[in-house]
Copies of this chain bind each other. A is one copy, B any other.
Amino acid sequence: MASGSILTQNQYDVIAKVFRQADTEETGTVDSSRIIELALAVLGQTAKDPEKQLVKYYANLRGNNPTIAFADFLEMMGEILTETTRWGNLTTRLEGYVGFDTIQEQIRKKSLKKGFEFNLIVVGESGLGKSTLVNTLFKSKISRTSCTPGPHIIPKTTEVNSVSHVIEEQNVRLKLTITDTPGFGDQINNDKCWAPILEYVNDQFAQYLHEEVNIVRKRIIPDTRVHCCLYFIPPTGHCLRPIDIEFMKRLDEFVNIVPVIAKSDTLTIEERDAFKARIREDLTFHNIRIYPSGYNYDDEEESAINNKIEQFIPFAVIGSDKEMSVGGKRVLGRQTKWGFVEVENKKHCEFAQVRDMLIKTHMQDLKETTDKVHYENYRQRRLRESKAAPMGESNI
């Protein structure tokens, strides 16, 4: 528990009861092998995966002794309770409505005032419809409207260009930064064409870290860290190319990668399925970490959702900014001589799945994974590199 923090009589009683029931011989100690089971018995049904991990962690710290005494068990429970709010059987009963459930609404109001940020990078060689897909995702002319000179001249190396937009929906203001990478994969020799992209990703981490360790900090640190990388695989129907593997292997430690098969309307149903299966094998073989399935989720509900998403990886997508009338509704799609491909029709392609994931279900998770996994990794590396360990424990 926090320094000076003590348990109430009720909390103490619940913990003591669990211990006493296990201590059948009344020796005042319990076999160490039972410590996890006892801790979980105190927390009861509410304990989920995060609590199970906590319990294991603190139990392991005490695993050396063959038996555990009550005082030590009590101390361990205190440590566990400090790090979770799922107290199960130790929860205190209320005698009426207090009103602290309004804290959610208080937070919502404050976050509406602040607005939200989301930063997406799109990578893939020219002609794969990157800009069209982004415009389709966000239903606006977001991409390819920058005032840089002629977007149709292919640069000689990978360039990294960001454009920010603020879009608004139901009073939610979102600052969306789309980073384009023209020139990637477009050269005769594409050696290190991933390097400027990695540099950009790391630069954003460096900026954030710089603001975070400043003595006088901004009230809100602007977040330019890249929350997601959409990687466009050309619809070859074969397998991942060396450049695809190289890029993803280089970047997967730094950013959440979501691979998509571009212009997948060029593939038949069989070709598409076979291509997707082959890509999945390649990703596994090369041990490439893909979002979201490459990350641990300590929640059964989230894990189940992510397992479902995993089946679709890589998402076979089609982009379009042309509308047509289908069954009286205006829908986006591509008209061909033999039919109309509807972009948002889940039977036609997997655009809707990737859109739902990026925007409607996982936008916040992409941001949190960036913050808690990628940024933390960057920060740890940087701090370990700085020899004198200037921010280490010894100085604070």
Stretch touching chain B among A24-32, A88-96, A124-132, A252-260: A88-96
- Taken together as a complex, chains A and B put the C-alpha atoms of A332 and B202 apart, in Å, by 59
A34 at the interface (CB under 8 A from B): no
- Taken together as a complex, chains A and B put the C-alpha atoms of A99 and B356 apart, in Å, by 8
Contacts of A103 in B (CB 8 A): 116, 172, 174, 363-364
- Taken together as a complex, chains A and B put the C-alpha atoms of A379 and B356 apart, in Å, by 41
Find out whether the CB atom of B6 lies under 8 angstroms from the CB atom of A146.
Answer: yes
Determine how close the nearest CB of chain B comes to the CB of A247; give it in whole angstroms. Answer: 19
Contacts of A171 in B (CB 8 A): 101
- Taken together as a complex, chains A and B put the C-alpha atoms of A113 and B177 apart, in Å, by 29
List residues of chain A with CB under 8 Å of any chain B CB.
Answer: 1-10, 12, 81-87, 90-104, 106-108, 110-118, 137-142, 145-148, 160-175, 177, 179, 200, 203-204, 206-207, 209-210, 213-220, 222, 224, 299, 355-356, 359-365, 368, 372, 376, 379-380, 382-384, 386, 388-393, 395-396
- Taken together as a complex, chains A and B put the C-alpha atoms of A169 and B247 apart, in Å, by 48
Find out whether the CB atom of B162 lies under 8 angstroms from the CB atom of A102.
Answer: no
- Taken together as a complex, chains A and B put the C-alpha atoms of A89 and B94 apart, in Å, by 49
Find out whether the CB atom of A12 lies under 8 angstroms from the CB atom of B100.
Answer: no
Contacts of A104 in B (CB 8 A): 108, 111-112, 172
- Taken together as a complex, chains A and B put the C-alpha atoms of A166 and B170 apart, in Å, by 34
Determine how close the nearest CB of chain B comes to the CB of A287; give it in whole angstroms. Answer: 24
Known contacts being A85-B115, A85-B173, A87-B166, is A359 close to B392, with CB within 8 Å? no
Q: Identify the closest chain B residue to A395 (Cβ).
A: B390
Among all A-B residue pairs, the 8 with the closest Cβ atoms: A85-B115, A106-B364, A2-B224, A87-B166, A101-B170, A390-B390, A5-B162, A92-B165
Determine how close the nearest CB of chain B comes to the CB of A167; give it in whole angstroms. Answer: 5
Known contacts being A177-B5, A363-B106, A368-B110, is A167 close to B98, with CB within 8 Å? yes
Find out whether the CB atom of A380 lies under 8 angstroms from the CB atom of B216.
Answer: yes
Contacts of A376 in B (CB 8 A): 217
- Taken together as a complex, chains A and B put the C-alpha atoms of A356 and B168 apart, in Å, by 32
Find out whether the CB atom of B219 lies under 8 angstroms from the CB atom of A372.
Answer: yes
Q: Of B10, B162, B167, B218, which one neighbours A6 at CB under 8 angstroms?
A: B162
Contacts of A87 in B (CB 8 A): 166, 173, 175
Contacts of A12 in B (CB 8 A): 147
Known contacts being A95-B139, A139-B95, is A393 close to B214, with CB within 8 Å? yes
Contacts of A364 in B (CB 8 A): 103, 106-107, 110
Q: List 24 A-B contacts (CB under 8 A).
A: A1-B164, A5-B224, A7-B147, A84-B115, A85-B116, A86-B115, A87-B166, A91-B166, A94-B138, A94-B139, A94-B167, A94-B168, A99-B169, A99-B356, A100-B167, A100-B363, A102-B361, A110-B364, A206-B396, A213-B391, A213-B392, A213-B393, A213-B396, A215-B380
- Taken together as a complex, chains A and B put the C-alpha atoms of A28 and B279 apart, in Å, by 56
Known contacts being A94-B139, A108-B108, A139-B98, is A203 close to B115, with CB within 8 Å? no
